[in-house]
Amino acid sequence: MITRFLLRALDRKAIWLIVALVAVSILVPVANLVVPAGNPLHLDAVWVPLLGKYLTWAMLALALDLVWGYCGILSLGHGAFFALGGYAMGMYLMRQIGARGVYANPILPDFMVFLNWKALPWYWYGFDMFWFAAMMVALAPGLLALLFGWFAFRSRVTGVYLSIITQAMTYALLLAFFRNDMGFGGNNGLTDFKDILGFNVQAEATRAALFAVTALFLAAAVLVCSGIVNSKLGNVMIAIRDAESRARFLGYRVDNVKLFAFVVSAIIAGIAGALYVPQVGIINPNEFSPANSIEVVIWTAVGGRGTIIGPILGAILVNAGKSYFTAALPDYWLYALGALFMLTTIFLPQGIVGLVLGRGRKRRAPNNPSGRSEPLPARSAEAEAGEEVGILSPRAAE
Amino acid sequence: MSHFRLLPILVLLTSIVVGGAAWAQDQTPAAATPAGNAGSAASAPAAGGTAKLSDLVNALGAGDPFDFDGRIAAIRALAASGDPHVPAILNALENDQLYTPDGGGDVYLQGGTDDAPTYSDPITGKDETDQIDPDSMVKVKINNNVRSAIDDATNQMTLLSPDRNARLKAAQDMLTDADPKNLDLINKAVAQETDPQVKAAMQAARAEIILKSAAPAAEKQAAIDIIAAQNNQDAISILTAALADAPNELKPDIQKRIDAINTNLQLWSVGENVWFGLSLGSVLLLAAIGLAITFGVMGVINMAHGEMVMLGAYATYTVQQLTNHYASSISDYSLLIAVPVAFLFTGAVGVVIERGLIRWLYGRPLETLLATWGLSLILQQLVRSLFGASNVLVTTPSWMSGAFQLGGISITTNRLWIVGFTIIVFIVLQLVLNRTPLGLQMRAVTQNRRMASAMGIRTPFVDAMTFGLGSGIAGIAGVALSQIDNVSPNLGQNYIIDSFMVVVFGGVGNLWGTLVGALTLGVANKFLEPYAGAVLGKILILVFIILFIQRRPRGLFALKGRAVEQ
């Protein structure tokens, strides 16, 4: 069964993408560490964590694409899952500091000593062990997604309402993590990391290794997502995206399918966050801010949702643009980003991938991510309103 | 139908606010007038009595320099004159500033420095240094008995002062520092007093003195009644202090009074929380109501709504700058000009946004959300480039500043204005929706867009007007918010999530839902704050809304009917 899943996952596009990612995971560290400085092929050390950061964001965008592009759930809170994974990894890295902190307390992280805490809170237990932290990286966002999704999908909260409550979720977490009493470092978050698995996080070799691991995890995420969307379940997801009520009437358990996609997506986002933290060296509550989560949406939209490669491309391109703009023309970055939001949604609903693939995709009407086979005037307050009419109308046959 | 059921509530709210405002207006001049009258009344006898007063003052320095008893008698005589100059003269005496020629003569007030003293008439203040040989001057001597007599006389003078505010202050001072030896004085003052407010303060002070003195139980009982009638935190502390050395038969009664006052104060604090909640709720309502209209009618999530509020606030700032510059005489009323200006400006921006951006995205609400988010980034950056990233100062006009007491609640005038303003905006909006052709068309489009279109309603026009109206209301909200919040390019960001919560909680397509949602969230927030803290309270509200949406995915007041049921 697993073999069949893998075989389905490996359609030609996914194979190329995975091969490219594996190649990158080898080439970048080699260009950085093996190729001597001065050689035109040498990659400076500053680029490695930067590229690694882009790849974790690409992974986050891919996670969002799984629920938005394939299942029609626009989550404006995916940054929260990313940040939770990041915090789990950050807690492990904090415990690894041990007595090397400013206050040299072997158990308590610096900020707890500073806040005059006497003992480690119970939820910090176990984070000195990597396997436990790694488990929590997946469990924390996964459980939150399970709980949230179970409530939301079961009571059929859809469309913009769902988007808004996911935004409320990440906003509530933002406020919560800003509090010092939460025991997650408050405003400053977790930083000053020293070691990961015994290796210095600042060392160039560790960073190169982290980059390679990130690229491989992204390849794995591509494999998983590609496998899911190419399976029968993936077809049901796409059906839900295009006509949720119809899928339900046909007897599919819409809630469970959505919940599955949401949880898998949250776990991928959490892993991305965990890979992000050691490369950036800090995790703080700002990662929860609603604006961050919305930015992820635009990466996905720019690249092209409803495709596997689109969000990866979008995340890397938009962030490369951001790095360039914020350095060269800091005042114009927000104009550029805002224009990107507006122009993409109006002129490029399929993103760059849709633009490149052009007409080829247009014939496949059911895959049209806007959920409509042809532009219709708005019919009611809700996007899906009037679906029953569609069943009876001749257009349903299309 | 719910419109009619909720109408009485609105009428009640309006009458409270309007009544409160009127009450506040009455209160201010009422407080000012008696003081003014007392001031002019005080100066009249002083002018006529100067000659006699100078004799009394000169008596201070008369006789043997060490005749302190004679000096005390002179002080009492001076105090008994009741002249408003007396406290200052006595004060000078206490500070060793009164001098008299060695061997007797008139009393002078010494000023200047020790090396070059000046001498002036203590009553008129006229400088008479050139008529005086400084070497011959000696200080009018005082000792502790004289000082004590001066203090008593000063107290008495202020308690008996013709100036109402001085009397009130003296009585209040006495209340915080009650001394049984002032009992005779306060008795006299109470007997003379005519102003009811001052008399009440004096009686409270007298009651406290009685509780501290060795008065008989019956008299103390009466005193307890007076103190308990005050019903505030001070009364509790006075009674608690009295509890220790009160006669045994009074102790249970005192305890009962303390408990009663405590209960009463708790009720007031509940009332205060309700008021703060209503105030916060009305701000939320102002910010959310425009969003509710656009979302309800068009199903469009306008992420740039917060920026419309921000633009309204900046319009207020611009209008204020212009009136300050070109018409400073009306600058106190620039807010009144800013309301229509902000409405028209943001409304026009809204129409442009609808025509230029949103109409391309109908039927794709999620994309609209993204596009308007992008627009909000651009608007923020635009304002940042034009006005700078830091806060701009919008001044509060004089008629909106200040505060007053309503029972146990302190109410700031600008909050009251905002609550009243919100109610007006809400009523006007209801009238527009229910009594105008545009409102009729908007409601029709909300309920069933295709049917409305089939009936000949120009839905694109209605959409543009709706979006303009919603944006205009947001601009008006910006005018109000400029009075209580920092006007910066990020202003809108602070309100957008809260506004969404209100709309989602209240349900769309019905402004009453928005009203109830905003007020509920505002009041709930203020009630949670004392227990959970501001941040945790907000988190709890967010969690509550997330859970609430599960129960009622379309909000409190969801539209019913075939068209909206998916």
Identify the pLDDT of residue B320: 92
3-state secondary structure of A195: strand
Mean pLDDT of A366-394: 38
pLDDT, greater one: A392 or B328: B328
Contact B546 A387 (CB under 8 A): no
Contact A179 B535 (CB under 8 A): yes
Give the strand order in the sheet containing B108-112.
B117-120, B108-112, B98-101, B137-139
Chains A–B, number of C-beta pairs less than 8 Å apart: 170
Q: CA-CA distance, B541 to B526, in Å (whole number)?
A: 11
Q: CA-CA distance, B150 to B155, in Å (whole number)?
A: 9
Residue B545 in contact with residue A168, Cβ under 8 Å? yes
Query: Which among B354, B244, B335 has a CA at the least distance from the CA of B297?
Result: B354
Identify the pLDDT of residue B40: 40
Asked if residue A379 belongs to a domain, the reply is: no
Chain A partners of B460 at a C-beta cutoff of 8 Å? none
Mean pLDDT of A93-98: 90
Asked if residue A225 belongs to a domain, the reply is: yes
Identify the pLDDT of residue B509: 66
Residue A135 in contact with residue A270, Cβ under 8 Å? no
Chain A partners of B354 at a C-beta cutoff of 8 Å? none
3-state secondary structure of A11: coil
Identify the pLDDT of residue A142: 96
Identify the pLDDT of residue A382: 38
Predicted-complex ipTM score: 0.82
3-state secondary structure of B553: coil
Mean pLDDT of A123-135: 92
Asked if residue A64 belongs to a domain, the reply is: yes
With b for 16 or more beta-carbon neighbours within 10 A and e for fewer, the B129-158 pattern comes to eeebeeeebeebbbeeebeebbebbbbbbb
Residues in chain B with pLDDT values less than 50: 1-4, 10, 12-13, 16-49, 562-566
Q: CA-CA distance, A229 to B214, in Å (whole number)?
A: 92
Asked if residue A82 belongs to a domain, the reply is: yes
pLDDT, greater one: B189 or A54: A54
B487 beta partners: B392
Asked if residue A33 belongs to a domain, the reply is: yes
**Helix residue spans in chain A (DSSP H):** 2-9, 12-29, 47-68, 78-97, 110-114, 130-154, 159-178, 204-230, 232-242, 244-249, 254-280, 290-303, 309-328, 333-347, 351-357, 359-362, 387-392
Distance from CA of A322 to the nearest CA of B (A): 14
Asked if residue A350 belongs to a domain, the reply is: no
Residue A212 predicted with pLDDT over 60: yes
Name every residue whose Cβ is closer than 8 Å to that of residue B141 and which is 6 or more positions away in sequence. Answer: B65, B66, B68
Chain A partners of B378 at a C-beta cutoff of 8 Å? 334-335, 338-339, 342
Identify the pLDDT of residue A372: 40
Q: CA-CA distance, B342 to B320, in Å (whole number)?
A: 12
Identify the pLDDT of residue A38: 82
Q: Write the residue in B364, B374, B385 that is nearest to A338 by C-beta.
A: B374
Identify the pLDDT of residue A221: 95
Interface of B with A in 487-546 (CB under 8 A): 497, 500-501, 504, 508-509, 535-536, 538-539, 542-543, 545-546
Residue B101 in contact with residue B136, Cβ under 8 Å? yes
Q: Is A383 on the interface with B (CB under 8 A)?
A: yes
Query: Looking at this protein, which amino acid is placed at residue A355?
Result: L
Interface of B with A in 337-376 (CB under 8 A): 357, 360-371, 373-376
Asked if residue A306 belongs to a domain, the reply is: no
As for how many domains chain A has, the answer is 1
Q: How many CB atoms lie within 10 A of CB A279?
A: 21
pTM, 2 dp: 0.74
Distance from CA of A203 to the nearest CA of B (A): 38
Distance from CA of A315 to the nearest CA of B (A): 16
Distance from CA of B5 to the nearest CA of A (A): 26
Identify the pLDDT of residue A273: 96
Residues B474-485: tens digit of each pLDDT: 999 999 999 888
Interface of B with A in 300-339 (CB under 8 A): 301
Chain B partners of A167 at a C-beta cutoff of 8 Å? 497, 500
Identify the pLDDT of residue B8: 52
Contact A380 B538 (CB under 8 A): no
- What token pair was written down for B565? 């049921």
Distance from CA of B325 to the nearest CA of A (A): 31
Which domain, by its residues, includes A29? Answer: 7-289
Identify the pLDDT of residue A387: 37
Residues A147-194: tens digit of each pLDDT: 999 989 988 888 888 888 899 899 999 999 998 888 898 888 998 898
Q: Write the residue in A161, A298, A385 that is nearest to B553 by C-beta.
A: A161
3-state secondary structure of B417: helix
Residues A234-286: tens digit of each pLDDT: 999 999 999 999 999 999 999 999 999 999 999 999 999 999 999 999 999 99
Asked if residue A113 belongs to a domain, the reply is: yes
DSSP-assigned letter for residue B395? P
